[in-house]
Structure 1
Amino acid sequence: MPKMKTKSSVKKRFKLTASGKVKSGQAGKQHGMIKRTNKQIRNQRGTTVMSEPDARIIKQFMPYG
């Protein structure tokens, strides 16, 4: 039986935590920072844990974690 392939775009953008949750970068930070409030820019630093329904979709593309 051949190995399953991991989706290349997913392995670049997401990581799994030790408990199996999906960690990703914050959305809405690529451009247009002038129109964002300072509070929004501050709260979007770093990474976030994805919601469970979205994480389920991402895990389908990562067969080996």
Structure 2
Amino acid sequence: MPKMKTNRAAAKRFKKTGSGNLKRNKAYRRHILTKKSAKTKRNLRKQPLVDSTNVKNMKKILPYL
């Protein structure tokens, strides 16, 4: 049986937590931050977990993560 290939684009964007969940980054934190409030920027710092509806597909493209 050949090895499965990891989707490299996804591997760069997602990390695994200690409990096995997947962390992701939020959008809208790259540029044009001057017009965003401090509260918005503070909330964008937190890394949310991947939604449960997407986990099955994520595990498929990230078999060794």
Q: TM-score, normalised by structure 1?
A: 0.79
Unaligned runs of 5+ residues in structure 2 are: none
Stretches of 4+ aligned residues off by more than 3 angstroms? none
TM-score under structure 2 length normalisation:
0.79
Structure 1 gaps of 5+ residues are none
Matched residue type, 1:48? P
Q: How many residues align?
A: 65
Change (3 A) 1:51 1:36: same
The Cα shift of 1:24 comes to: 1.4
Identity, % of aligned positions: 37
SS for the counterpart of 1:58 is: helix
Judging changes above 3 Å, is the alpha-carbon distance between structure 1 residues 29 and 63 closer, same or farther for their aligned structure 2 residues? Answer: same
Bigger fraction of residues in helix: 1
